[in-house]
Amino acid sequence: MTDFSNQCFVCGKEIDPETTELNKQLNLPVCDNCKGTEREKKAIDDHLESMAEGFVCGCI
Ligand SMILES: [Zn+2]
């Protein structure tokens, strides 16, 4: 499994977790190049979808 803690979740670029902001929805780091872009929004959607598939649970 990929460790997302030290790379931008949008473009996969290595980042410094100490200085990089987290996306508040996913709690994953996003670099300055991707922050606030359409690509970021799309990556969020992709992540939420894959998480939904991973946690199939009727307890919402
Ligand atoms: Zn990025």
Cα–ligand 1 centroid distance for 51 (angstroms): 20
Give 19 Cα–ligand 1 centroid separation in angstroms.
14
Using the mean position of ligand 1's atoms as its centre, give its distance from the Cα of residue 52 in Å.
23
Tell me what pLDDT residue 17 has: 84
In this prediction, residue 16 carries a pLDDT of 92
Residue 56: the pLDDT is 64
Q: DSSP characters for 1-60?
A: ---GGGB-TTT--B--TTTSPEETTTTEE--TTTTTSHHHHHHHHHHHHHHHHH---S--
Question: Which pLDDT score is estimated for 42?
Answer: 97
Q: Give 9-42 pLDDT, tens digit per residue.
A: 999 999 998 899 999 999 999 999 999 999 999 9
58 pLDDT above the threshold of 70: no
Q: 30 alpha carbon to ligand 1 midpoint, in Å?
A: 5
Task: Find the 29 Cα to ligand 1 centroid distance in Å.
Answer: 9
pLDDT score for 50: 85
**pTM assigned to the model:** 0.76
